[in-house]
């Protein structure tokens, strides 16, 4: 009897120790109080050193850092992850270096059609716009759709009329025109390129804009309250068919956020991200299969999208505030900034 009592006591002691270890492990992996972080991308594709001279690298690094600083400032001052994502994407939309907003590519008819989406990981509320060409910052329009309508995705001229009523800055289509982007279209169509005007000649001559990438931009943030948000904005693909819609405004494909798991923004060949519902698939693999973010990103990018013939990359923040990214293309413009003081900007192959 005494032996049985001793045995039961020992089992109870061991179970208590096991539970204590589990609790300690949980503490290690909890998000630090009031911590926050932001990760961005500026497109994936042929982002290699061979395609980018020193001036180009400096220009992209500067633009990416400006976007990080803008979003980080919002988070540092107690702002929401939604506002931080919006601020970071705004900076990249205003730069001709990226295929979003100011630097949007031309479709087959020589026009620009821009898409954007944003999602709140706390409520799963989201908004998106597609096929707009007079809204200076499409990400702001996506935010208004989310906050001020019962819909998720709005398109075309009707959404532009709505946004004008909300006071968004509207611009003439000439604002988005750059000779470099137009020459990309003509080169693909086999037509003669046009003469560069003064406004974009310096960028072209200095090599600050290139053809060798998908330039979709995106941001993911987690704020001091632990809420995650993700946003994506794009001009689509050069010479795309009029009316073509990619993954960027499609919630679950090019963009997704859920406080239970993570926030994700994608860039690449959108048709393949839509076929695999890529961003949501990553979240599902984490939530239901128990994969860590690195494993989930690799599975979707390489074993699903890659095997179908697609390429691109994704950035991710999990609900602990940890940052991840991966891509099956040659490179991806990317960077992150955390409340811990870490600040990284990278462009080319994955660092070891």
What pLDDT score does 154 carry?
A: 96
In the chain, domain spans: 1-30, 34-346
What pLDDT score does 245 carry?
A: 87
Check if 9 is active-site: no
User: Across the chain, how many H-helices and E-strands are there?
Assistant: 11, 12
What pLDDT score does 170 carry?
A: 94
Output helix, strand, coil percentages for the chain, rounded to the nearest 5: 40, 20, 35
Task: Tell me, rounded to whole angstroms, the distance of Cα 258 from its chain centroid.
Answer: 14
What pLDDT score does 213 carry?
A: 44
Decide: 300 and 272 in contact? Cβ < 8 Å: no
Residues of the chain with pLDDT under 50: 4, 7-8, 13-14, 16-28, 193-213
What pLDDT score does 242 carry?
A: 73
Rounded distance between C-alpha atoms, residue 82 and residue 73, angstroms: 13
Choosing from 48, 130, 178, 216, the catalytic residue is: 216
What pLDDT score does 182 carry?
A: 56
34-346 belongs to CATH 3.40.190.10: no
pTM above 0.75, yes or no: yes
């Amino acid at each position: 009897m005494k032996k049985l009592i001793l045995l039961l006591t020992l089992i109870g002691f061991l179970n208590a120790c096991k539970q204590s270890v589990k609790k300690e492990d949980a503490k290690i992996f909890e998000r630090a109080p009031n911590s926050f972080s932001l990760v961005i991308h500026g497109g994936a594709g042929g982002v290699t050193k061979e395609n980018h001279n020193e001036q180009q690298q400096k220009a992209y690094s500067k633009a990416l850092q400006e976007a990080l600083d803008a979003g980080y400032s919002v988070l540092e001052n107690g702002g929401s992850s939604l506002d931080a994502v919006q601020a970071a994407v705004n900076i990249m939309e205003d730069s001709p270096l990226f295929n979003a907003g100011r630097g949007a590519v031309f479709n087959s008819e020589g026009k620009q059609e821009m898409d954007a989406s944003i999602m709140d990981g706390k409520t799963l509320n989201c908004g998106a716009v597609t096929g707009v060409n007079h809204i200076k910052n499409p990400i702001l329009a996506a935010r208004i759709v989310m906050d001020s309508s019962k819909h998720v995705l709005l398109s075309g001229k009707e959404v532009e009329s709505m946004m004008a009523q909300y006071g968004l800055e509207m611009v003439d289509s000439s604002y988005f025109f750059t000779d470099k982007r137009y020459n990309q279209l003509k080169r693909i169509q086999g037509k003669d390129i046009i003469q560069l005007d003064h406004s974009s000649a310096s960028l072209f001559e200095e090599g600050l804009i290139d053809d060798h990438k998908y330039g979709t931009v995106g941001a993911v943030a987690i704020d001091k309250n632990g809420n995650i948000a993700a946003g994506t904005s794009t001009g689509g693909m050069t010479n795309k068919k009029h009316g073509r819609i990619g993954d960027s405004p499609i919630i679950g494909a090019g963009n997704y956020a859920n406080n239970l798991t993570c926030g994700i923004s994608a860039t690449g060949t959108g048709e393949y991200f839509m076929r695999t519902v890529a961003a949501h698939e990553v979240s599902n693999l984490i939530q239901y299969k128990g994969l860590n973010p690195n494993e989930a990103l690799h599975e979707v990018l390489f074993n699903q999208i890659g095997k179908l013939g697609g390429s691109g990359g994704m950035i991710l923040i999990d609900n602990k505030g940890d940052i991840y990214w991966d891509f099956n293309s040659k490179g991806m413009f990317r960077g992150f900034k955390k409340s811990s003081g870490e600040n990284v900007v990278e462009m080319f192959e994955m660092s070891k």
